[in-house]
Amino acid sequence: MARQFWILLGVTLLLVVLVGAALISYSNSLPHSGNNSISLEAFSLCQGNCIYASPYLSGNVIVNTSVPLVSLKLTINGTNEFWANYANYGIGNYTIPYRASAYNQSLLIVAGKSYLVTLVAVFQDNNTLSASTLVVATSQRST
């Protein structure tokens, strides 16, 4: 009886070690957002007389990712403005032409004033990255 117990215990420990090794190997093969990056390029903020509903923000988001991008959250001077779903973008290096109207009308946009624009990227593995840029609002769209 004691011998069967020790054999069963040995087999159980062996299975635990094998399953644990397999899980570690699997988790190491998943892409991690530690290698991901985002940056903002050529952002402008139009206060009025814009092509689209004002205030209107435009620029490029440069993405380098090994995990698919799921969404981007926009804040201007710390005020939440807009969520956008980007689940159709995959992995790799690419540029997203970013265009958004600031929907939170509690934030008054004034031409000539500086605003801190921050985008928070959420990836498929639920990790996040953020990038910020300072823009000066204009009274009409820039060409």
| Residue-range definition of the domain harbouring residue 8 | 1-30
Asked if 111 and 134 sit in the same domain, the reply is: yes
Q: What is the pLDDT of residues 65-101, one digit of tens each?
A: 999 999 999 999 998 887 777 777 789 999 999 988 7
Asked if 23 and 70 sit in the same domain, the reply is: no
Number of other residues whose CB lies within 10 A of the CB of residue 94: 13
Asked if 21 and 42 sit in the same domain, the reply is: no
Asked if 48 and 5 sit in the same domain, the reply is: no
pTM for the model stands at: 0.70
In the chain, the number of structural domains is 2
Q: Looking at residue 21, what is its pLDDT? A: 36
Buried residues in 96-127 as b, exposed as e (16+ CB within 10 A) = bebebebeeeebebeeeeebebbbbbbbeeee
Q: Looking at residue 41, what is its pLDDT? A: 97
